[in-house]
A and B are shown apart, each in its own frame.
Chain A
Amino acid sequence: MTPTKSTPHRPDRLALILLAPLLVFLVVFFLVPLGEVMWMSITEPSFGFGHYGKVLLDPHYRRVVLDTLGTSLMVTTVCVLLAYPLAYVTAQIGGTIGAVLLMLVAMSFWTSFLVRTYAWMIILGNRGPVSELLKATGWDPPPLMLFTRFSSTVALTHILLPIMVMALYAVMRKIDLNIMKAAASLGATPFSAFRNIYFPLSAPGIVSGSTIVFVLCIGFYVTPVLIGSPREQMISGMIGAQIEEFLAFGEASAMAMVLLVVTVAILAVYHRFFGLDKLWG
C-alpha cells in the first residue's frame, strides 16, 4: 500500500475521532432519552397510541396547541416589527454608534432570560411602575397585566428580540450600499428604493429570524410558566404540569413528541426552500 493511496481515508478517520466525543455525548444524553420519551409515549401506562389521539383531538389540548401557536406568531410578528428598524439603523450608520447599538442588543442577549423574566415580573406587577403610571394617568384600578397572555407575550418578545435583530443585521450588513445609490441614480425615490430593493434583499433575514424565533417560542418553558396566564398555558408548561402534578408521563411524552415533530417540520420546510446553513446568516 502506497502512502498516496491511504491518505484519502485519513481525514475521514480523523474526523470520526474528533467527532467521537460529541457523538457519544449526543447518543447518551440526547438520542437515548429521546427514544425513552418516544417509548413512554406509547407504553405508559399501557401500550397504545391513545395519548396521541387525545393530544391531537381533545379540545383542551387543541386549545393549548392553538394558544401556543398564536402566542408564538404574535411574538414573532412583534419581534419583526421592532427588530427591523433597529437592525436597519444599526446596519446603516455602522461605525461607533452602530457598534454601541449592537453591543446593547448583545448585552440583553447575554443576560439570563430568567433574570429578564423576573425583571418583567417587577415591571408588570400590581405595584410595578407600569401600574403606577396607569393609575397616575387615571386608569384606576389599572388592568391586571402579570400572569396574562399579554405579560408572557411582552416578556417572550423582549427575550427573543435580540435574536431577530442579529438575524436581520447579518443579512442587512451584506447589502451593498452602492446598490441603494444605484437605485437612487436610476430614479427611485428613497421609499421606492426601499420597497423595491432594500426590503426584498433583507427579506431572507426576516424569514430566518422568524423561523428561529418561532421555533424557540413554541418550545419556551420558563417565561410562560413564570409570568404567563395559568389558564392559557403553552405546550411546554403543559408538559411540565402533566409530569409534576399528574405524573402523566405517557401523555406528557406524547405532547413532547408532537412539539418535536412540529419544530422539525418547520425547520424542514425552511431547509427545503433556503437551506439550514443559511439560518444563522
Chain B
Amino acid sequence: MSYLSLQNLRKDYGGKIFAVDDVSLAIEKGEFVTFLGPSGSGKTTTLMMIAGFEQPTSGHIALAGRAIDPVPPHKRNIGVVFQNYALFPHMSVARNVGFPLRMRGVPKAEIAARVARLLAIVELGAFADAEPRRLSGGQQQRVALARALVFEPDVLLLDEPLGALDKNLREQMQIEIRRIHRELGVTTIYVTHDQTEAMTMSDRIVVFNGGKVEQVDAPLALYRRPNTPFVAGFVGDNNVLDATHAGGGRIELPGVGPIAAALPSDCPTGPLKIALRPESIRLAAGSDAPAFTVQGIVNYGDSVVLVGALGTVPLKIRLPAVAASNLTVGQILRIEWSPDAVHVIGTAR
C-alpha cells in the first residue's frame, strides 16, 4: 500500500458541484507530487482535508497504513506552508521555527540545534533574531518552509507557496524547494496553477478540474499523452481537434480530409479527439500539403504563434522566429507534421 492514500474523497460545501468529487490518489514515500488545476478546481480543499482542517463529506485518508480520518490537525504530523506564509508576527524567526518543537516538548538545547540546522538549510542563519515582518517575501517564505520542516513531518503540504513572489524570485525558490526536498526526502504535495512550475518541479502531477482528478502522471508523460481534452488544453499549448477514425489507421478532420497520423493499435474507430502541439507543426515545402490560412500573428521574440485555420478547423502553429519572418495575415501556408505528433486523447500513446 502506498504511503499516503486518498480513497474516494468528496467534499460538499452545498454548492452546485462538489468542491472535491471522488478523488483517489496513491502517493509514495518521498515523492514530490504537484496538484495542478485552474482556480476553484478543489486543490486547496483536498490539501486542507489531508491536513485535517476540513472533514471530507465522504471517503478516507490513510497515512503510512493508518487511517487518519479521526485524527485532529495538531496530531497529524503534517507540515503546511500557506500562500501568505502565516508566520507568527509576535515571534522572532528562530522562535517561529522552534514553535513546533516547543509544542512537542523537545528539550531546549535540542530545539536550538535543530532550529539552527533548518535556518542554515534555508540560508537564513543570519536572520534568527529578526522579526518576520522585516523580511522580504522570499525570506518569509523560507522561514515558513523551515518551520514546517523542522519537526520532520511525515508529509509536507505547500499551497501556492510562491504565488506572491515575482518571477525571478519564484524561479529561485523553485530550485530551493527542490533542493531541500532532495536533502530531506520528505513526501511533498505542492499546489499550483502554474503549469510550468508543475512541469519543472514534480515527480508526478495530479491535474484537477471541477473537483475531479483528470490525470495523474509524470510531467513528460502528461505533456505527451494527455488523457482528456482538458489536460491536453491545460498542460502546455495545444490544438485539441475533433476527428474521425474510419478504421485502418486513417484519421480524418471534418472539412479537411485525411491527415498524417500514426495511430496506436488500440485506437477505437468512430469520432475521437486528437491533440496536436502547435510547436510540432512545420512549414511544408510541397504544394500538396494541407493549406493553413493565417488570421493572426503573435510575436514572442524567440518564437511566433500563428493563429488561423486548416480548412474550417481553427489551428495554432508555433514557429521559431527565424522561420516566421515576413509572414502576413491572410497568407496561405502549406504545413506538415510528423505522424507521431498526433496524439489520440485517451489512448496509451
A: which residues have CB within 8 A of B?
176, 178-179, 181-190, 192-193, 196-197, 200-201
- Interface residues as binary, B46-62 with A (CB distance below 8 Å gives 1, 0 otherwise): 00000111000000000
Q: 13 extra interchain contacts, Cβ-Cβ under 8 A, other than A176-B84, A182-B80, A187-B104?
A: A178-B82, A178-B84, A179-B87, A181-B53, A181-B82, A185-B73, A185-B76, A185-B148, A186-B151, A187-B77, A187-B151, A189-B103, A201-B89
- Chain B residues lying within 8 Å of A181, measured Cβ to Cβ, are 51, 53, 73, 80, 82, 86
Within 8 Å of chain A (Cβ to Cβ): is B147?
yes
Partner of B74, one of A187, A196, A197, A200: A187
| Contact between chains at B88 and A197 (CB < 8 Å) | yes
Interface residues of B in 205-234 (CB under 8 A from A): none
Question: In the assembled complex, which residues on chain B have CB atoms less than 8 Å from the CB atom of A192?
Answer: 103
Which A residue sits closest to B147, measured CB to CB?
A186
For B134, list chain A residues within 8 Å (CB).
none
**Interchain CA distance A185-B71 in the complex, whole Å:** 12
Of the listed residues B51, B52, B89, B144, the one surrounded by the most CB atoms of chain A closer than 10 A to its CB is B89
- Nearest Cβ in chain A — how far from B95, in angstroms? 10
Mostly, the A contact residues are helix
Pairs A-B, 6 closest by C-beta atoms: A186-B100, A187-B103, A182-B86, A178-B86, A185-B80, A184-B73
Chain B residues whose CB sits within 8 angstroms of the CB of A190 once the complex forms:
74
User: Is B74 a contact partner of A188 (Cβ separation < 8 A)?
Assistant: yes
Residues of A within 8 A of B308 (CB): none
Shortest beta-carbon distance from B14 to chain A in Å:
14
Task: State which size class the interface on B falls in.
Answer: 20 to 34
Q: Which of A179, A184, A185, A189 contacts B88 (CB 8 A)?
A: A179
Q: Please name all residues of chain B whose beta carbon is closer than 8 Å to the beta carbon of A184 when the two chains form the complex.
A: 52-53, 72-74
A186-B78 Cα distance, complex, nearest whole Å: 8
- A178: chain B residues at CB < 8 Å are 82, 84, 86
B90 close to A200 (CB less than 8 A): yes
Distance (whole angstroms) from the CB of B38 to the closest CB of chain A: 22
Query: Chain B's nearest CB lies how many Å from the CB of A248?
Result: 50
Q: List 26 A-B contacts (CB under 8 A).
A: A176-B86, A178-B86, A179-B88, A181-B51, A181-B53, A181-B82, A182-B144, A183-B88, A183-B99, A184-B72, A184-B74, A185-B74, A185-B78, A186-B147, A186-B148, A186-B151, A187-B104, A187-B151, A188-B103, A189-B103, A190-B74, A192-B103, A193-B74, A196-B99, A197-B88, A200-B90
Give complex CA distance A187, B151 in Å.
9
